[in-house]
Amino acid sequence: MSGLDFLEKVEIFKGLNHDQLKSVKKGAQEKKYFYGDRLFAEGEDADRIWLVMDGQVDLRFDLPGRPTSEENTIFSISTPQTLGWSNFVPPFKYALSAYSATKTCSVLQIDKQHLLECFEKDPRMGLMFMTNVAAIASMHFDQLLESANVSPVAKVKITVHMSTCGIAAGARQVMSALVEEISCSDRPDIEVASSGCIGHCKNEPNITVEIGGGEPVIYQKMTPDKMRQIFQKHILGGEVQKGYILND
């Protein structure tokens, strides 16, 4: 597939004509990565958009002092999906790190400055591009609103224990991370609840995970990063994260 054939399939370039796609392509650079290679790191300036041409890219949170791990993957993207929202929304920094998750993966990087220069010369192209990006943002907004309303048919219940001791230990940040995860998951059957102290103040924040009619699992000393890992591995993957279970 030539570069232009690929570009015209990408949602953010929908409506652009052949010449406009050609001008985009001038700022594009194809790169190949191997399994485990990092494409960009959380907190770096978002200065380019990334289009996955082949293979899979994982978006992960990194834990300080530890190597990256598939366990920390928030979501994965494959062709012809795009990474790039952070380029156009303050604070203009990547919110997660991206890693190659397949033996090899090919991506097209498009320099943000090149795009902005194209848009200066051809504002109609800029208008179409910005409208396409805003339409994707609109879809994510709807997903977040859906996740905000508890489903009456919930099969999974996650309780964040938000007593004053829990909040002092960071329960509110844990709840924020959980809400963010659910908004990205497209899982209307997940119910979020909060409750008071369960008597393990020194191990706060605590969360309880109940899946179907199974035994509740209580996790201790939660952080936003642990919350994301538990969401991906336990709630979505069914694998209890034994290292974080509350010690009686």
Partner 1 sequence: MINLDFLENVEAFTDLDDNQLTAIQDCCEVADFNRGEKIFAAGEIPDHFWIVLAGQVNLTWDAPEGPALQENTITTLSEGMPFGWSSLVPPYKYHLSAHCASRNCKTVRIPKGRLLQLFEDDAQLGYKVMSKVMIVAGQRFHQLQDEVARRRGHDIINRW
For residue 158, list its beta bridge partners. 192, 209
User: Is residue 168 at the binding interface for partner 1, with CB under 8 A as the rule?
Assistant: no
Between 27 and 55, whose beta carbon lies closer to partner 1? Answer: 27
Query: Interface residues for partner 1 in 64-93 (CB under 8 A)?
Result: 85, 88-90
Tell me how far apart the alpha carbons of residues 227 and 176 are, in angstroms, rounded to a whole number: 10
* Closest approach of partner 1 to the CB of residue 125, in Å: 8
- Residues 90-119 as x/- pattern, contact with partner 1 by CB under 8 A: x----------------------------x
Return the range that interacts with partner 1 (CB under 8 A); candidates 1-9, 39-47, 52-60, 138-146: 138-146
| Residue pair 191/177 in contact by the 8 Å Cβ criterion | no
| Complex with partner 1: residue 1 or 168, whichever CB lies closer | 168
Residues 6+ apart with CB under 8 A from 161: 171, 194, 195, 196, 197, 198, 204, 205, 206, 207, 208
Q: Of 221, 174, 226, 175, whose CA–CA distance to 202 is shortest? A: 221
Separation between Cα atoms, residue 205 and residue 19, nearest integer Å? 55
What separation in angstroms does the CA of 59 have from each of 38, 44, 99?
Answer: 10, 14, 7
Minimum distance between the CB of residue 24 and partner 1, rounded to whole angstroms?
A: 15
Q: Under the criterion CB under 8 A, does residue 124 sit at the interface with partner 1?
A: yes
- Give the interface with partner 1 as residue ranges (CB under 8 A): 85, 88-90, 119, 123-124, 126-127, 130-131, 133-135, 137-138, 140-142, 144-145, 147-149, 160, 162-164, 167, 171-172, 175-176, 179-180, 183, 192-197
